[in-house]
Amino acid sequence: MGCRDVHAATVLAFLSGTASVAGLLAAVLLPNWRQMRLYTFNKNERNVTIYTGLWIKCARFDGSRDCVIYDPQWYTAVDQLDLRVLQFALPLSMLTAVSALFLCLIGMCNTAFVSTVPNIKLAKCLVNSAGCHLVAGLLFLLACAICLTPSIWVIFYNNYLNRKYEPVFSFDISVFIAIASAGGLFFTSILLFLWYCACKSLPSPFWQPLYSHAPSMHSYASQPYSARSRLSAIEIDIPVVTHAS
């Protein structure tokens, strides 16, 4: 696997990263991080389930999809520490992953559209696609850590709430979406690292173009003056022998 071509590994990593960012966006917007189920022993009333998200809170009766109580200002009054941390962690993870996607796209475009022999004057200003993918892999790994740690903490904090109050709390589908998205980010970073490991034997520096010097500089370089002088002297000193008929 060479660095000078666009390979399935980099394309798959870009698609995987895009899907992971989409999953994070869904987890951020869905009001399904925690459920609080309230039971009633009155046969004339129905049980109520309160769905708690990062930004809104919704209370529904069993068998109904309409919110009896809808609080769009919940994000300003979050009283659960794990959800408050997620309000900052998930957008930060998304921003980091989007930056990694942008770098990955720059690396692929540089590989696909830039000439294999760059201009000598611009050689130090060009971007190495292998360096782009390596930094993108590091950013994907960082985004995974930022997302995964507080998402797993929700599970333990849910058990803490059940012990402190009553066993009416349970984590919801957004927790699984966030953890799966973090797994996708980790998979993306591994793909980019594997691609870079296949390219690290190249002689070019870390963030420099794949050709630090144009091949024409080596192929068509003129010989030193002393060598030309010696060659000319040898050619001049060779006698020309002719046979008379």
Rounded Cα distance between 16 and 213, Å, is 34
Share above pLDDT 90 across residues of the chain, in percent, rounded to a whole number: 27
Rounded Cα distance between 184 and 93, Å, is 13
Per-residue confidence (pLDDT) for residue 209, from 0 to 100: 42
What mean pLDDT comes out for the span 202-225? 44
Contacts of 95 (CB under 8 A, 6+ apart): none
Beta strands (DSSP E) in the chain are 34-38, 48-52, 57-61, 69-71, 169-171
**Residue 63, phi-psi category: left (phi > 0), alpha (psi -120 to 50), beta (remainder):** left
Per-residue confidence (pLDDT) for residue 146, from 0 to 100: 94
The helix or strand, by DSSP H or E, that contains position 132, with its residue range, turns out to be helix 129-164
Say if residue 210's pLDDT is above 80: no
pLDDT digits (tens, 9 = 90+) for 75-103: 787 888 888 899 999 999 999 999 999 98
User: Helix (H, G, I), strand (E, B), or coil: what is residue 216?
Assistant: helix
Per-residue confidence (pLDDT) for residue 117, from 0 to 100: 52
Say if residue 244's pLDDT is above 70: no
Neighbours of 98 (CB within 10 A): 16
Rounded Cα distance between 175 and 179, Å, is 6
Per-residue confidence (pLDDT) for residue 67, from 0 to 100: 79
Per-residue confidence (pLDDT) for residue 116, from 0 to 100: 54
Per-residue confidence (pLDDT) for residue 113, from 0 to 100: 65
Rounded Cα distance between 103 and 132, Å, is 6
Rounded Cα distance between 197 and 160, Å, is 43
When comparing pLDDT for 65 and 2, which is higher? 65
Say if residue 19's pLDDT is above 90: yes
pLDDT digits (tens, 9 = 90+) for 135-163: 899 999 999 999 999 999 998 988 888 88
Which amino acid makes up residue 98?
V
What mean pLDDT comes out for the span 224-238? 46
What global pTM score does this model have? 0.73
Contacts of 53 (CB under 8 A, 6+ apart): 29, 30, 31, 32, 33, 74, 174
